[in-house]
Chain A
């Protein structure tokens, strides 16, 4: 079965960096684009970033552009989100989420991880 397991969350001070990881299993990781989606406590869903199946194209929300970098290692079946210059408003549960269908362009999410909580606080 499809599994996405995020790790790397925690408490970090404003301005510092953090890298999230997402270990994928149960499907051909190298064939699917993957999203990061976040949800601040008690708030709605916010799309963060997307990477093509082969890593050749990446897209970001304006709120994180220039500060977050999405990447993947198809040999390790792992997705990453490098976050720098973190702000209080980046506090959220971060979900790794598979894009439905084996196509290049971003598509809706058909599988979600359980999420990892990032808290930005001094």
Chain B
């Protein structure tokens, strides 16, 4: 099975900073990659699918890129409401494995 590895596992950044989270697949998955945000005590929310397509209603400061094995989620200007854990997920085929998560905090 394909493994999904996220890095870093946690980060602390200042409001307004540009934040980048990476997700690496152990084998190529084309662009079948989604990103989710889970705020503390809440259910996850879909941010991005097809590696770079923003889900409806998601702020434009979020963006995704990549294809094959290497993917990136970028927050262009970190806001206090972005404190959350972010997960990537592959969906080219089952199992639809999630990455281990990246916890984002405000410095």
**Pairwise interchain contact A50-B94, C-beta atoms closer than 8 A:** yes
**Pairwise interchain contact A100-B49, C-beta atoms closer than 8 A:** yes
Partner of B43, one of A35, A59, A112: A112
B89 at the interface (CB under 8 A from A): yes
Contacts of A95 in B (CB 8 A): 43
Known contacts A110-B55, A112-B43: A45-B1 contact under CB 8 Å: no
Known contacts A62-B1, A108-B49: A45-B101 contact under CB 8 Å: yes
B65 at the interface (CB under 8 A from A): no
A55 to chain B, nearest CB (A): 16
A46 to chain B, nearest CB (A): 7
Contacts of B54 in A (CB 8 A): none
B7 at the interface (CB under 8 A from A): no
Give the docked Cα–Cα distance between A113 and B94 (Å). Answer: 21
Partner of B101, one of A44, A59, A106: A44
Give the docked Cα–Cα distance between A113 and B44 (Å). Answer: 10
**Pairwise interchain contact A47-B96, C-beta atoms closer than 8 A:** yes
Give the docked Cα–Cα distance between A106 and B89 (Å). Answer: 12
B71 at the interface (CB under 8 A from A): no
Contacts of B45 in A (CB 8 A): 112
A34 to chain B, nearest CB (A): 12
Contacts of A106 in B (CB 8 A): 91, 93-94, 96
Contacts of B96 in A (CB 8 A): 35, 47, 50, 59, 106
Within 8 A of A (CB), among B70-107: 85, 87, 89, 91, 93-101
A-side interface residues toward B, CB under 8 Å? 35, 44-47, 50, 59-62, 95, 100, 106-110, 112-115
Known: A45-B98, A59-B94, A95-B43. 11 other contacts (CB 8 A): A44-B100, A45-B44, A47-B96, A50-B96, A100-B46, A100-B49, A108-B49, A108-B89, A108-B91, A110-B46, A115-B43
